[in-house]
Amino acid sequence: MSEAQIKSLEEEFEARIARDEKIEPKDWMPEKYRKTHIRQMSQHAHSEIVGMLPEGNWISRAPSLRRKVALLAKVQDEGGHGLYLYSATETLGITRDELFEQLHTGKAKYSSIFNYPALTWADIGAIGWLVDGAAIINQVALCGTSFGPYARAMVRICKEESFHQRQGYEITLKLAQGTPEQKAMAQDALNRFWWPSLMMFGPADADSPNTEQSMKWKLKRKTNDELRQQFIDQTVPQAELIGLTIPDPDLKWNEEKGGYDSGEIDWDEFWQVVKGHGPCNKERMKARVSAWENGEWVRDAALAHAEKQQDKKLNRAG
Radius of gyration of the chain (CA): 22
Among positive and negative, which fits the CA dihedral 302, 160, 193, 195?
positive
Binding residues with ligand FAQ: total (CB under 6 A):
28
Cβ-based nearer residue to ligand FAQ, 143 or 242:
143
In a 3-state reduction of DSSP, which class is residue 252? strand
Residue from the set 122, 199, 239, 280 that interacts with ligand FAQ by CB under 6 A: 199
Phi, psi of 68 (to 5 degrees): -65, -45
Residue from the set 89, 111, 145, 197 that interacts with ligand FAQ by CB under 6 A: 111
Cβ-based nearer residue to ligand FAQ, 224 or 235:
224
- Cite the DSSP H helix spans in 177-277: 180-199, 211-216, 224-241, 267-272
The contact pattern for ligand FAQ, residues 57-96, with x = CB under 6 A and - = no contact, is ---------------------x------------------
Residue from the set 56, 125, 149, 203 that interacts with ligand FAQ by CB under 6 A: 203
CB–CB of 26/39 below 8 Å?
A: no
The contact pattern for ligand FAQ, residues 139-178, with x = CB under 6 A and - = no contact, is ----------------------------------------
Q: What's the one-letter identity of residue 265?
A: I
Residue from the set 88, 92, 99, 131 that interacts with ligand FAQ by CB under 6 A: 131
Give the DSSP H or E segment for 167. Answer: helix 148-176
Q: Which residues contact 301 (CB under 8 A, 6 or more apart)?
A: none
CA 51, CA 45: separation in Å to the nearest integer? Answer: 10
Stretch that binds ligand FAQ, among 43-51, 90-98, 143-151, 170-178 (CB under 6 A): 43-51
Q: What's the one-letter identity of residue 149?
A: P
Rule CB under 6 A: is residue 37 a binding residue for ligand FAQ?
Answer: no
Binding site residues, ligand FAQ, CB under 6 A:
39-40, 43-44, 47-48, 51, 78, 109, 111-112, 127, 131-132, 135, 138, 199-203, 208-211, 214, 224, 274
